[in-house]
Amino acid sequence: MEDNPEKPVVYIVSDSVGETAEFVVKAVASQFDSAQVEMRRVPFVEERSQIQAVFKEADCHNAIIAYTLVVPKLRRVMAEEAEKHTAQTADILGSLMGAFSRVTRKDPYSEPGRVRQMDEAYFRRIAAVEFAVKHDDGKDPRGLLRADVVLIGISRTSKTPLSMYLAHQGVMVANLPLVPEIEPPDELFQVSSHRIIGLIINHDQLRQIRKGRLEALGLDENANYVAVERIDQELLYARRLMKKIGCTVFDMSNKAVEEAAKRIIQIIKGGEMI
């Protein structure tokens, strides 16, 4: 293969950031000595004039125009301009989108930046899970002020399972156990009551859950933890504190975590009270 005296210029044209096209171009260029290729990214293309300007500049070079355009109008403009100019063009997404359309029998969304949006949602979920773990069971009360939702309740009212489920939906959750003998941290009273969800549960169901917990741990089933009087005391304390705060109270009796989480997300999104 003969060397071309002019370094090739690859214009990376996108109606989004252009990261996908640049990655593909670099992968291909590595097979031809990428040090001898100049890359120029042209992101956020929205108008015909921008595409025309790229072709006009490309005509002055030994050029390739690689593009990831998902807006149909812009794809048509690119095809029209390619007919008038000498630059080589490479439609990075076109053939694959066509294949997807034929197999799924659906049209593409044609929305620039969907991959980036999906990535952002993924990383938010990861951050939310890390946040929930860090602020589980009252660890680091400062997290109460940064949480989207604060779950409060006595032991075995599904605070942790609900926190983790919500976190996987991208919700930043902190949870705090309520114990009559321990004053809640000051941060709890600095959080808007609209962001606090109080969790309660039926007395008999709670007692059975706690008995099962003790049995699983090999502990005495007659411990104060499952005593009728103790559970009554804790439930009364929790209800009084929740009333004082003025937060939404959610009864977890016979409720699946998924059901409770769905309701809480509705509240977050709509500012609605249960």
Q: How confident is the model at residue 108, as a pLDDT? A: 64
pLDDT tens, position by position, 166-180: 998 899 999 999 999
pLDDT tens, position by position, 79-122: 999 999 989 998 888 777 766 778 778 776 666 666 555 556 77
The reply to whether 107 and 123 lie within a common domain is no
Please give the tally of structural domains in the chain: 2
Global pTM value: 0.60
User: Is 169 among the domain residues?
Assistant: yes
DSSP sequence for the chain: -PPPSSPPEEEEEESS--HHHHHHHHHHHTTS-GGG-EEEEE-S--SHHHHHHHHHHHTTSSEEEEEE--SHHHHHHHHHHHHHS-SEEEETTHHHHHHHHHHHT------TTHHHHHHHHHHHHHHHHHHHHHTGGG-SGGGGGT-SEEEEESTTSSHHHHHHHHHTTT--EEEEE-BTTBPPPGGGGGS-GGGEEEEE--HHHHHHHHHHHHHHHT--TTSGGG-HHHHHHHHHHHHHHHHHHT-EEEE-TT--HHHHHHHHHHHHHHT---
User: Is 1 among the domain residues?
Assistant: no
Last residue of a domain, one of 112, 127, 142: 112
Domain harbouring 185, CATH code:
3.40.50
Last residue of a domain, one of 112, 142, 170: 112
The reply to whether 31 and 158 lie within a common domain is no
The reply to whether 166 and 255 lie within a common domain is yes
The reply to whether 72 and 141 lie within a common domain is no
Question: Residues 218-226: what's their mean pLDDT?
Answer: 85
Asked whether residue 266 carries a pLDDT value surpassing 60, the answer given is: yes
36 pLDDT tier (thresholds 50, 70, 90): confident
Question: Residues 217-234: what's their mean pLDDT?
Answer: 89
The pLDDT mean for the chain works out to 87
The reply to whether 100 and 33 lie within a common domain is yes
User: Is 187 among the domain residues?
Assistant: yes
Q: Which two tokens stand for residue 48?
A: 């015909």
Query: Which stretch, 6-15, 25-34, 175-184, 211-220, has highest mean pLDDT?
Result: 175-184
Residue 5 CB partners (closer than 8 Å, separation 6+) = none
Question: Residues 27-46: what's their mean pLDDT?
Answer: 83
User: Is 4 among the domain residues?
Assistant: no
Q: How confident is the model at residue 4, as a pLDDT? A: 46
Question: Which amino acid type is present at position 169?
Answer: Q
274 pLDDT tier (thresholds 50, 70, 90): very low
User: Is 67 among the domain residues?
Assistant: yes
Percentage, residues of the chain above pLDDT 70? 90
The reply to whether 86 and 135 lie within a common domain is no
User: Is 212 among the domain residues?
Assistant: yes
Q: How confident is the model at residue 31, as a pLDDT? A: 81
Q: How confident is the model at residue 267, as a pLDDT? A: 84
Lowest mean pLDDT among 78-87, 146-155, 174-183, 230-239: 78-87
The reply to whether 78 and 211 lie within a common domain is no
Half-sphere exposure of 271 (CA within 13 A, CB side): 1
The reply to whether 136 and 265 lie within a common domain is yes
The reply to whether 143 and 177 lie within a common domain is yes
The reply to whether 89 and 180 lie within a common domain is no
141 pLDDT tier (thresholds 50, 70, 90): very high
User: Is 3 among the domain residues?
Assistant: no
The reply to whether 101 and 123 lie within a common domain is no
Question: Residues 183-194: what's their mean pLDDT?
Answer: 96
The reply to whether 135 and 266 lie within a common domain is yes
Question: Which amino acid type is present at position 110?
Answer: S
Decide which of 194 and 103 is more confident.
194
Last residue of a domain, one of 112, 139, 164: 112
Q: How confident is the model at residue 222, as a pLDDT? A: 74
Which range of residues forms the domain containing residue 232? 119-270
User: Is 2 among the domain residues?
Assistant: no
Asked whether residue 272 carries a pLDDT value surpassing 50, the answer given is: no
